[in-house]
Amino acid sequence: MKKAQRIQNIKTILLSLMLVLATAVLLSSCSSSAETDSAVALQTALEPTAVIPTPTEETAVAPTAVAATLPTDECLLCHINKDELIQTADPVEEVVSENEGEG
Amino acid sequence: MAPLEPWEKALVNGETYPDSVHGQIPCQNCHGGRQSADKAEAHTDIIARPSDDPEIYCQECHPDVVALNENNLHDNLAGYWTILDQRTVPEDHETIATMFGNHCSSCHATCGDCHVSQPALVGGGLIDGHMFNKTPSLTRNCTACHGSRVGNEYLGKHEDLQADVHFRQGRMACIDCHTGHEMHGQPAACEDCHTSPETQMVEPANHRYDGVQSPRCESCHITATIGQDDIEMHQVHGADLSCQVCHSVAYTSCDGCHVAISETTGNPFYATDGSYLDFKIGLNPLKSFDRPYDYVTLRHVPISSDSFAFYGDNLVPNLNALPTWVYTTPHNIQRETPQAASCNACHGNADLFLTVDQVYPNEVEANQPVIVPVIPAPISEITATVGITITEGISATAGLTTTTIISPTEQNP
């Protein structure tokens, strides 16, 4: 069955995607605790570029309440944040419909 | 309804959505994209309309609904092709398909257009913070697409014309008549629902009036069928006139639709030469066991021989293959209408009927199947044969019938 295969493929892709994500989340939680942990802080000092690859803004945005229960999902974080959406929304394009009459 | 701000269109409700069933699924499973706090990066390879491919994103959990989807007119728009195939010729189908892609396929409805967001036609945008609503909204889903004809009639947007009695009096939404089952498309095989030894295949619907009437007025108004109530009109005409012939009022017809691509913006657009309110009774072009009426209401559709001229010459060579006045079921039902105020409000009233003089000369041939050859004579002239003693002058007839009607209705909503 082609369909079943496709679903299976998608599942595999999704699974690996989630693994990658989980690793990413683990890594980023390391980096955010870096400032408090002196041992890690040392490491940071040694190799600053490798350990803090992401802009600090990213972690600052994350509301702690959500971060505590869910792995950080950047999509969700932005899309439930009205101010963020207002700031990042594309300017309203004035699409004047050129249709005339009833369709 | 005020248009949504750009941010509103994309705002997910952080209180309700994450706790819902679909909220447990990571956004990326349906929308692709990347994990990033940067909008452009996050939106790389984004899938804006996952439910364009319900087999991938919905089927696993909703196999029953998705299985019907490919036969659903809302998805396959087969109704348009049924007509286009007959009015055009195979050599031109590639060109016609291009035209269709530019101008018509935007009307195709995804699962999300009824359950998650507003259709793209009205600018898109989440309806309820990304909740998957079971019940589509009348105005934000259904009439967002079905606005100019059905919506305006049903909601009473035309000056001097009342809203449909089912809305005005019954406060009914579209889905009170058009059920989820109908909206998802009928099953391709009877045995999907009816398990019996003899397996009967039913062809999937290829236009909106294909097959049985669904919904059907008589399903709810059982007594209106011939001879089952005290209303004289129902007894005389319960079977040979469609209900709308007596119960709907003026509705929209259109002339001369042309499509083109805008030179200034590059956007596809259409223009109709005119749209107007009209009411025309004609012969039933779809007479069958399921639609037994001799007479039905008809509307003019805006096809013309040069509708697609932007794409080439003579692309509608078979304009006459089908009438330009088509079967219609206006959504402005009223209990009392001008044409049914008395027998002779209709009998002998030439304005109501699609006679040859009402048809554009170049469309007469196409409309032969629906043109009314002779309008029904005023009742006084046929009383002799039927034995009804009414003379034209006595308008009391209508008044008399009314009195007998009112009482059964009160107990019979």
Rounded distance between C-alpha atoms, residue B87 and residue B315, angstroms: 9
For residue B293, CA distances in Å to B178, B204, B232, B285 come to 22, 23, 18, 10
Q: How far is CA A28 from the centre of its chain?
A: 11
Alpha carbon of A103: minimum distance to chain B alpha carbons (Å) = 7
Of A73, A79, A95, Cβ closest to residue B11: A79
CB B267 within 8 A of CB A93: no
Q: Which residue of B has its CA nearest to A58?
A: B37
- What's the gap in Å between the CA of B271 and the closest CA on chain A? 4
Tokens of B117: 């967001």
pLDDT > 80? residue B24: yes
When CB atoms are compared, the residue of B7, B37, B267 closest to A74 is: B37
Alpha carbons B304 and B314: distance in angstroms, whole number:
11
**Three-state SS string across B20-83, please?**
CCHHHCCHHHHHECCCCCCHHHHCCCECCCHHHCHHHHCCCCCHHHHHHHCCCHHHHCHHHHHH
* Interchain CB distance below 8 Å, B13 and A100: no
pLDDT tens per residue, range B119-172: 988 889 999 999 999 999 999 999 999 998 999 999 999 988 999 999 999 999
Residue A93 is classified by DSSP as P
Helices within B127-239 (DSSP H only): 143-145, 152-154, 165-168, 174-177, 180-183, 217-220, 232-237
Give the pLDDT score at A80: 96
Cα dihedral sign, B302-A100-B52-B143: negative
pLDDT at B304: 87
Closest chain B C-alpha to A45 CA, distance in angstroms? 25
Chain B CB contacts of A66 under 8 Å are: 14
Give pLDDT, residue B135: 97
Which chain B residues have a beta carbon less than 8 Å from that of A81?
14
Check CB contact under 8 Å for B37 and A92. no
Q: Which among B11, B26, B267 is the nearest to A82, CB-wise?
A: B11
Predicted confidence band of residue B342 (pLDDT cuts 50, 70, 90): very high
pLDDT score of A38: 41
Task: Note whether B262 contacts A85, CB cutoff 8 Å.
Answer: no
Q: For residue B266, what pLDDT band results from cuts at 50, 70 and 90? A: confident
Contact A75 B42 (CB under 8 A): yes
Reported as a single tens digit per residue, the pLDDT across B72-127 is 999 989 888 888 889 999 999 999 889 888 888 888 899 999 999 999 888 899 99
CB contact under 8 A, B35 and A88: no
* Nearest chain A Cα distance for residue B149, angstroms: 8
How many Cβ pairs within 8 Å bridge chains A and B? 102
Mean of per-residue pLDDT scores for chain B: 87
Per-residue confidence (pLDDT) for residue B104, from 0 to 100: 84
Q: What is the pLDDT of residue B167?
A: 98
In this predicted model, what pLDDT tens digit does every residue of B303-319 receive, in sequence order? 888 899 899 998 898 88
pLDDT for A33 beyond 60: no
Q: What is the structure's pLDDT at B62?
A: 96
User: Any idea where the domains of chain A sit in the sequence?
Assistant: 1-51, 53-90
Range among A58-62, B169-173, B274-278 with highest mean pLDDT value: B169-173
Residue B272 to residue A103, Cβ atoms within 8 A: yes
Mean pLDDT over residues B240-256, rounded?
95
Query: Over the stretch B343-387, which tens digit does the pLDDT of each residue have?
Result: 999 999 999 999 999 999 999 999 999 999 999 999 886 554 444
Mean pLDDT of B209-238: 88
What's residue A53's pLDDT? 42
Ranges of H-type helices in B88-231: 93-103, 111-115, 143-145, 152-154, 165-168, 174-177, 180-183, 217-220
In this prediction, residue A5 carries a pLDDT of 62
Mutation target vs A (from B4, B5, B7, B152; most A CBs, 10 A cutoff) = B7
**pTM assigned to the model:** 0.86
Q: What is the mean pLDDT of residues A81-96?
A: 81
Task: Give me the pLDDT at residue B27, please.
Answer: 96
Which whole number is the average pLDDT over A62-77? 62
pLDDT > 80? residue A67: no
